[in-house]
Amino acid sequence: MEEVYERIFVGCDDECFKSREGWVTVHACKSPCHQRAVGYRRSLPRGHPNYLALERENNLYLNMIDPPQPLFMMPLFTNFLRFTQDHWNNGKNIFIHCNKGESRAPSLALLFLAKIIGKISNLSFERAKEDFLKIYPYYEPGAGIQIYLQDNWDKF
């Protein structure tokens, strides 16, 4: 787990936790976290109320994979931004993890730093990425999330 900004941490599955005093956790991975939290194995019907996200106590479980094409849906990101902004404003530490801590979780942290608290550039995804790499050099966004963030940057 690495602190990318005060109270904002990025990590991988090995560091996943559900409950820690003063913390919230964003689980940016379908497997295993979203699957376990919602209670399914292979896939979930699109009409399921928790198809994209489940918020439970201090946890946000996102049905997020890291495909090479931009298959993401905007509610994944809007749920994330609302959840983290609410908890940021309440003084909580925010831990965001995905399977490896290289693509999805740091992409969400980058989005939060640029769009919510303005600690890195908000002009474009490319500028935000340049700034973010200075504080989190392990950032290796997958092609799908990178394209999605580039194409939708102004919509966040």
**How many Å is the maximal CA-CA distance in the chain?**
40
Fold of 2-155: Protein-Tyrosine Phosphatase; Chain A (3.90.190)
Average pLDDT, stretch 72-83?
97
> Where do the structural domains in the chain lie, given as residue ranges?
2-155
Three-state DSSP at 5 gives strand
Q: Which residue has the tokens 């936790």?
A: 17
Q: Output the pLDDT for position 63.
A: 97
Residues 25, 11: contact at Cβ < 8 Å?
Answer: no
Q: Output the pLDDT for position 18.
A: 80
Average pLDDT, stretch 148-154?
98
Q: What is the mean pLDDT of the chain?
A: 96
* Per-residue b or e along 71-91, where b marks 16 or more CB atoms closer than 10 Å to that residue's CB: ebeeebbebbbebbeebbeee
Tell me how far apart the alpha carbons of residues 65 and 71 are, in angstroms, rounded to a whole number. Answer: 9
> Tens of pLDDT along 38-58?
999 989 999 999 999 999 999
Three-state DSSP at 14 gives helix
